[in-house]
Amino acid sequence: MKRYFYTSLLIFFTSLASNAQEATYYRYDTDLLSKEFHRSRRDELRKMMPEKSVAVLFAAPVRNRSGDDDYVYHQQPDFYYLTGFTEANAILILFKEEQMIEGTKTNEVLFVEDKDASREIWTGRRLGKDHVEPVLGITKGMANTEFEGMKVDFKKFDKVLHLAFPKGVVHERGEKADLSILVDQFKKKYDGDKEDAFALFEALAKLRMVKQKEELTLMRKAIGITCEAEKEVMRALEPKQYEYQVQAILEYEFKAHGSEYVGFPSICGGGENTCILHYETNRKQLKDKDLIVVDIGAEYHGYAADVTRTLPVNGTYSVAQKAIYNLVYKAQAEGIKMCKPNGSFWEPGKAAKKVIAAGLIELGIIKSEDEVSKYFMHGTSHHLGLDVHDVEINYDLIPGNIITVEPGIYIPEGSMCDPKWWNIGVRIEDDVLITDTGNEVLSATAPRTIEEIEALMKEVSIFNK
């Protein structure tokens, strides 16, 4: 019995030791993309690389806000897609064929900042080179200080693939291998005549445009959080609030549901600010008869949502506001119908613009279709994913694509139409997944019709108490 007990203890502690490297990295979230997912993305990219080629990707630079205060770090999306790594000053090298690197036969190397207890007490735990393989599943991890001495001749490859070098890279005094140094070291190692930046961008775009099952789970989470925020703003909205208070409510909802960041600066434009497409100031006090455009997106584990609702501050749309809102709603419905496999990326926009042009003529706001761009001046769709305006490389819709459909009408004060329309800006935006048989509106839980919105706005929010 004792022998069995001690054998069990030995097995238990051996198991703990085998998992120690991964466990001590303190990855608190349990729903991150798996290392198998990132490995599959590297494998798919490697299949698309030409023979005798190498691909080199750099982590995003650290961005300074002011003085010694940096912005919260955000990884370069392609780098994250291929690795799951979220630290700075790193290089990923992928080889088409296996190479012998420092005694290891491998087709991939990730150079990272190594462990440094004196630095980590200030800036947080680092993965370190010894955790690269067990945590990320990348077969060779090295310290970024070892990159300069890496014995690989880039001139022997037929193609050296890399994206545009990071912009605004600054060397930090005293650093031995920050991004500035790593970029300079790489430039000294490779033959510029063999570079091909577009081929790597194109290959990564083709992969990222089609969302895998694990990605869809995270996208649904980000979009669901965003819809909950839109709904809470509908309950809480009232005259005399400030735009920044609306922003505070929705971004509280983001954080309360686990979102790490906003996918983009929140747009909360009321009154005249509904007619500014990317308004971000959010300082105006809202008036009783104002509309407010709430264009927001939570980011969850790197994936961004993008949902817009236009709301009446006092809870009820005026007759003029209803006319414009219903026209945009009708245009969006026609656009969503055109979201289907093998369809064109441009068809939702064409359908929406046709509806808006006819409606504005009927309302007497314009006289001919070619005037529609005065009041609807932007595209209707963009891809969505690791970037809120995600990468795209072709214009045929295929299953796995996620695009927005977001028509709008914006009539600023002084426009050449009846003043009753002035300062009415309306945009309705939803996130649409292209499926094998049609589409799925992922953001459908946020009310869209006038009746649904006005009904929800009658409810009381905890933020009003």
Active site residue 378: yes
Answer whether 382's CB lies under 8 Å from 404's CB. yes
Write down the catalytic residue from 41, 410, 430, 431: 410
Write down the catalytic residue from 44, 378, 440, 454: 378
* Residues facing residue 285 across a β-bridge: 242
- For the record, the structure tokens of 184 come out as 């300079």
Active site residue 69: no
Torsions phi, psi of 261, nearest 5?
Answer: -145, 175
Active site residue 27: no
Active site residue 278: yes
Active site residue 171: no
Answer whether 307's CB lies under 8 Å from 230's CB. yes
Closest by Cα among 247, 409, 241 to 322: 409
Write down the catalytic residue from 175, 389, 392, 454: 389
Active site residue 375: no
Closest by Cα among 394, 39, 81, 366 to 211: 81
Cα separation, 209 vs 379, whole angstroms: 18
Active site residue 383: no
Write down the catalytic residue from 39, 131, 220, 427: 427
Write down the catalytic residue from 306, 334, 390, 430: 306
Element of type H or E holding 160:
strand 159-162
Write down the catalytic residue from 390, 429, 430, 431: 429
| Strand, coil or helix: 136 | helix
Radius of gyration of the chain (CA): 26
- For the record, the structure tokens of 170 come out as 């600054």
- The count of C-alpha atoms lying within 13 angstroms of the C-alpha of 39, restricted to the half-sphere facing its C-beta, is 13
Closest by Cα among 321, 435, 342 to 396: 342
Active site residue 257: no
Residue 389 DSSP class: S
Write down the catalytic residue from 78, 133, 251, 295: 295
Active site residue 301: no
CA torsion, points 247, 248, 253, 254, in degrees to nearest 10?
A: 70
What Å distances lie between residue 264 and 241, 257, 305, 306, 359, CA to CA?
Answer: 22, 17, 9, 9, 31
Active site residue 427: yes
Write down the catalytic residue from 238, 382, 392, 454: 382
Closest by Cα among 343, 348, 339 to 438: 339
Strand order in the sheet with 104-112: 141-143, 104-112, 91-101, 53-58, 159-162
Write down the catalytic residue from 178, 232, 251, 406: 406
Cα separation, 98 vs 417, whole angstroms: 67
Write down the catalytic residue from 27, 63, 171, 278: 278
Cα separation, 181 vs 362, whole angstroms: 62
Active site residue 406: yes
Concatenating the DSSP letter of every residue in 179-199 gives HHHHHHHHHHHS-GGGB-HHH
Closest by Cα among 210, 212, 172, 200 to 93: 200
List residues with catalytic annotation: 68, 278, 295, 306, 378, 382, 389, 406, 410, 427, 429
